[in-house]
Amino acid sequence: CHLAESLSMLRARFRATGTFALRHGGQGLMEHISTPFGGRGLSAGMLAAQALAAECSPETTLDDKWKLLRNLTDARHAFRLSDRAVAVLSALLSFHKDAAISAEGCIVYPSNRKLSERAHGISESTLRRALGQLVEAGLIIRKDSPNGKRYPRGNAPSDAYGFDLTPLIVRRREIEAAAEAVKEERRRERDARERITVLSRDIRKAATFLLEATDGTHEGAMVVLEQLAAILKSRPRSLAEAEEQA
């Protein structure tokens, strides 16, 4: 994924504003930073996600949250997400009532029990690990209350304590591009397998014909068959593996 680029943007922003903010009480630097409740520490991934979210216009909208989820499901390995993390994200998205999500008011605040139920009954420990993956990948932001509970607060949706989905809105094109890259890789692998299958068939039939034409006495034909068997046995299972062996 492009989290490294997000971190670079964050560092540049800090270099540009950090000194000024510290000289003025740190207000500019800390304005949009939310730290996790309890013993959980603050990480570079959290800071990068919060920096990107802070720069997102309230009018910015994600048109279809389920399309984004499908794209992220395809590209989950690029974002270092497990299948359970994707299932938990799906559960989080289900707590936002509309298919479209705007940057203004995209905080959901389900309890762990409700989240577990909608994520097919996963355990508390698995749920915590999945949420940690989503946070560290910079896809959601924890907005923890003073006591760690999640609940609405005030009249503005953005005042709620829970999980902020703004990073998904900001990174929607990045996620879509990652999904397209995965699909293209699958197409290349499929095409490569088809070429290998056709070539293997042609070689096998040519060698078989040679054996039949020479009553099985042609040593060259036997060598070809043995080489073909070795090639088929050791052929890579994916295009990436093939490129590594090249």
Which tokens hold the place of 101? 């999500």
pLDDT one digit per residue (tens) for the chain, 246 residues: 445 555 555 555 444 444 333 343 444 444 555 655 545 665 666 667 777 777 778 778 899 999 999 999 999 999 999 999 999 999 999 999 899 998 877 889 999 999 999 999 999 999 999 999 999 898 998 888 878 788 888 776 677 889 999 999 989 999 999 999 999 999 998 888 888 888 888 777 877 777 776 666 666 666 766 776 676 666 655 555 555 655
Contact 200, 228 (CB under 8 A): yes
User: Apex CA 223: angle with CA 228 and CA 191, to 5°?
Assistant: 15
The model carries a pTM of 0.67
Instruction: Output DSSP code: residue 58.
Output: T
Q: Please, is 60 exposed, middle or buried when counting C-beta atoms within 10 Å of its C-beta (0-12, 13-18, 19+)?
A: middle
Angle subtended at Cα 155 by Cα 150 and Cα 159, rounded to the nearest 5 degrees:
45
Tokens read off for 35: 């730290």
What is the Cα 182 distance to its own chain's centre? 11
Give the Å distances, CA to CA, from 44 to 71, 136, 138.
24, 8, 9
DSSP codes of every residue in 196-212: HHHHHHHHHHHHHHHHH
Which two structure tokens, joined as six digits, stand for 51?
A: 């920096």
